[in-house]
């Protein structure tokens, strides 16, 4: 019986560290695989000829390029009416964001609905122009 116990103790003594090493290695390699896979997912996929910047959200005043953020205060019109009148007379919609002014392209009926108001505009910038995808009023 003493002989059996020694074989069992020897096998246990050899197998336990081997299993612990195997488990530790598996956890280490699985963690490394997840870390490398995560870093690759964050990189943009380059496609041939793709120079499109990513869409982002801009916040500012939706107005026209004639009046900008300051509408003629001598008239009886509010900023919404003044912006719509200027656009009817040939001005273009712009977004004034701080000291920056962006020309807006896209569905003018969406822009017309929020003219003269503070808005959030989701769109793709291209220089000083934003291709508008969606608009929402800032409350």
Is the predicted pLDDT of residue 39 greater than 60, yes or no?
Answer: no
**β-bridge pairing 93-97 and 118-126:** unpaired
Domain boundaries, the chain: 1-43, 56-137
Task: Identify the CA nearest to 109 among candidates 139, 77, 87.
Answer: 87
Alpha-carbon torsion, ordered 18, 23, 25, 26, to 10 deg: 140
pLDDT in tens, 44-74: 444 433 444 588 899 999 988 888 777 666 5
Looking at per-residue pLDDT, the higher value among 100 and 9 belongs to 100
Statement: 56-137 belongs to CATH 2.40.50? yes
Flag whether pLDDT at 78 surpasses 60.
yes
Locate 58 and state its tokens: 């801009």
Three-class secondary structure of residue 5 per DSSP: helix
């Amino acid at each position: 019986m003493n002989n059996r116990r020694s074989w069992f103790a020897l096998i246990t003594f050899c197998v336990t560290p081997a299993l612990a090493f195997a488990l530790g290695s598996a956890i280490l390699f699985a963690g490394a695989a997840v870390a490398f896979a995560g870093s690759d997912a964050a990189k943009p996929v380059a496609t041939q000829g793709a120079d499109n910047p990513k869409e982002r959200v801009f916040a500012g005043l939706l107005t026209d390029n004639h009046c900008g953020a300051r509408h003629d205060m001598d008239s009886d019109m509010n900023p919404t009416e003044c912006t719509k009148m200027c656009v009817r007379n040939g001005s273009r919609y712009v977004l004034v964001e701080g000291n920056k002014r962006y020309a807006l392209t896209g569905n003018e009926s969406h822009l017309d609905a929020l003219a003269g108001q503070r808005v959030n505009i989701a769109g793709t910038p291209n220089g000083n122009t934003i291709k508008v995808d969606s608009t929402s009023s800032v409350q």
